[in-house]
């Protein structure tokens, strides 16, 4: 039998569970999930043009989607940046329901297009997007060139940036965030790769 899951607007009271579910669902050691953080969730909640929804089973948050009318400099394009469903609740159409609520709100807010990004191994996410009216647009591949003089340098090495600038770059996925916690990432065999 389908669980009785309600889709409701995300509020401050859901923040902790959303953050934890994100850490469970996303492999925050790899792109594009490196920017998952309290800041990225809070910025969505803080946005006047947000479309943030949670799927709740009684008091338990079992899924979320974070979207907003903020996509780069386009005022008429919206961005669905994060979506996840608790591993034990996947495959019941919960992400589809979250996506419907999120996109309906964004279109109602004036979005002419809604953009999302899917990592090329994430078949679950790609299926979800296609099922919900998204078609593939531009593909961007990150090319990475390490400094040959720094053979032992880790990916974490960063130029010192002012906090605001750094936060902005992390949010846009241009640089990796600290991750916030030590979590066991989901393996590549899971659906946790976007
Ligand atoms: C992607 C994700 C949100 C889908 O959640 P879900 O609630 O299981 O999705 P739904 O049940 O609504 O299914 C949506 C579609 O995806 C398909 N799908 C779900 N899991 C799948 C999988 N593992 N492999 C292939 N397709 C899958 C479903 O079959 C369905 O398509 P259909 O209706 O044509 O059959 C979930 O797998 C997840 O949380 N993954 C980890 C986090 C993540 O990668 N998020 C996306 C990037 S931000």
Residue 167: phi and psi, rounded to 5, are -60, -40
Q: Is the peptide bond before 32 cis (omega within 30 degrees of 0)?
A: yes
Instruction: State the pLDDT confidence band at 103, using cuts at 50, 70 and 90.
Output: very high
Instruction: Report the 3 state secondary structure along the chain.
Output: CCCCCEEEECCHHHHHHHHHHHHHHCCCCCCCHHHCCHHHHHHHHHCCCEEEEEEEECCEEEEEEEEECCECCECCEEEEEEEEECHHHCCCCHHHHHHHHHHHHHHHCCCCEEECCCCCCCHHHHHHHHHCCCCCCCCCCCCCCCCCCCCCCCCCCCCCCCHHHHHHHHHCCCCCCCCCCCCCCCCCCCCCCC
Instruction: State the pLDDT confidence band at 114, using cuts at 50, 70 and 90.
Output: very high
pTM greater than 0.75? yes
Task: Output the CA 8–ligand 1 centroid distance in Å.
Answer: 19
Classify burial at 114, counting beta carbons within 10 Å of its beta carbon; exposed 0-12, middle 13-18, buried 19 or more: buried
- The pLDDT score that the predictor gives to residue 154 is 56
Report the nearest-CA residue for atom 22 of ligand 1.
124
Please name the residue that has the structure tokens 């490196």.
Answer: 34
Task: Output the CA 125–ligand 1 centroid distance in Å.
Answer: 5
* pLDDT at 67 > cutoff 80: yes
In this predicted model, what pLDDT tens digit does every residue of 57-66 receive, in sequence order?
999 999 999 9
Q: Average pLDDT, stretch 29-49? A: 93
Please name the residue that has the structure tokens 């965030």.
Answer: 177
80 lines ligand 1 (CB under 6 A): no
Quote the CA–CA distance of 130 and 134 in Å, as a whole number.
5
25 lines ligand 1 (CB under 6 A): yes
* pLDDT at 193 > cutoff 50: no
In this predicted model, what pLDDT tens digit does every residue of 161-188 receive, in sequence order?
555 565 565 555 555 555 444 443 333 3
98 lines ligand 1 (CB under 6 A): no
């Amino acid at each position: 039998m389908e669980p009785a899951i309600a889709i409701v607007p995300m509020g401050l009271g859901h923040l902790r569970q959303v953050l934890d579910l994100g850490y469970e669902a996303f492999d925050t050691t790899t792109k594009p999930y490196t920017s998952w953080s309290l800041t990225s969730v809070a910025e969505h909640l803080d946005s006047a043009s947000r479309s943030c929804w949670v799927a709740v089973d009684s008091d338990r948050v079992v899924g979320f989607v974070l979207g907003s009318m903020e996509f780069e400099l386009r005022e008429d394009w919206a961005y669905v940046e994060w979506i996840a469903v608790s591993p034990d609740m996947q495959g019941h159409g919960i992400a589809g329901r979250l996506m419907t609520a999120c996109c309906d709100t964004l279109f109602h807010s004036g979005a002419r297009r809604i953009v999302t990004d899917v990592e090329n191994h994430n078949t679950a996410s790609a299926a979800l997007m296609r099922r919900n009216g998204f078609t593939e647009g531009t593909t961007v591949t990150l090319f990475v060139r390490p400094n040959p003089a720094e053979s032992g340098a880790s990916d974490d090495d960063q130029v010192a940036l002012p906090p605001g600038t750094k936060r902005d770059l992390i949010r846009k996925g241009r640089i990796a965030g600290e991750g916030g916690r030590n979590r066991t990432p989901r393996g590549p065999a899971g659906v946790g790769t976007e």
